[in-house]
Amino acid sequence: MINPTPLMQLVAGVWGFKTLAVGVELGLFTRLADGRALTVEEVAAEFGLAERPADLLLAACASLGLLERAGAGYRNSELAEQFLVEGRPYYFGAQVRYSDLRTYLPWHRIGEALRTDRPLTWDPQSQQSMFDTTDPEMLAQFWDAMYSTSSFTARALADAYDFGAHTRLLDVGGGAGAFPIEFCGRLPDLRATILDLPHVCVRAEERIAAAGLTGRICPVAGDFLADSALPDGHDVILLSMILHDWDEPTNRALLTKCHAALPPGGAIVICELLLNDERTGPPEAALMGMNMLVETEGGKNYSGAEYRAWLADAGFVDIRTVPFDAPGANGAVVARRA
């Protein structure tokens, strides 16, 4: 018999997120790195908590698969050990922190966004875009969050698509460089250009230097929407988690620029959380679309069918979808310039 338990699970979803967020805020998972285990009493003493909240937090984190029992104490699960310990290669805590501080409260006003069709995390009347802010701390959190989500997504994409077939990559709107850093770290013959705004290029240079890839990855300042043309000289163009920020006319115009910038035989890779062709799921893509209502003026998540149609209209051929599983994307739509 049908019952409302699935609805209660949706209600409790926010409880799970906030439990994860407070664990990251406290640095709980970083403190438990490398197999360290703590009892309720030890967590209470180390974090300055009473035993009741310490007990409830540990039980809740364990129920979510973030911790596991170790004798009388708790230690990180494999999931937390890999992705919630600061300093790990694919640390995801920055995305958790950004979502908690930037988007969680605006989501409480989702009805307002539905009625007005206006973003809630920034003001279009006083800001040019969601990336235009005078708050340097929030800007830093945003780019750290994007890197956090992109780093493992880049790993998954590199496993699913052979970038070794190319020699020069143009990462359009590439942020701090998570994708080319992952690709060039694997492929010694690959060179890459990151096209992004000037202040973002500074962050990219720092990440590139830390990865030991200075000289192989070159950030270039530009505006892929406003500039009349994209940099040429590349045989593959990556658009990762870019097109969901914009409306269809803007995206079609950008794909036309990509086609013009590529040589014959050059490839384009659109990496996104793709809706199915019926636009009924999966939830991660559909809910990211709702998040675009909160964060952008015209963005939404699109289906693979929509991307395939736009690519064909822009003149691309051999269009196909490559599925994979990652936090920032569930697939890539790949095509070639004839």
Residues catalogued as catalytic: 244
Contacts of 319 by beta carbon, 8 Å cutoff, 6+ apart: 308, 311, 312, 333, 334, 335
φ/ψ region of 117 (left if φ > 0, alpha if ψ in -120 to 50, else beta) reads: left
**CA angle, 272 as apex, 268 and 277 as ends, to 5°?**
100
4-10: long-range contacts, CB 8 A cutoff, minimum separation 24: none
Beta-ladder partners of 323: 331
Helices 51-63 & 13-26 angle (0-180, nearest 10): 120
Buried-exposed string 116-137: b where 16+ CB fall within 10 A, e elsewhere: eeebbbbeeeeeeebbeeeeee
Contact 80, 32 (CB under 8 A): yes
Rounded Cα distance, 118 and 48, in Å? 42
Among candidate residues 16, 32, 173, the one with its CA nearest the CA of residue 99: 16
The CA distance from 331 to 269, in Å, is 10
Place of tokens 């407070």: 22
Query: d(Cα 216, Cα 218) in Å, to the nearest integer?
Result: 6
C-alpha dist (Å) from residue 112 to 102, 109, 123, 128 = 17, 5, 14, 21
The position carrying tokens 């406003």 is 226
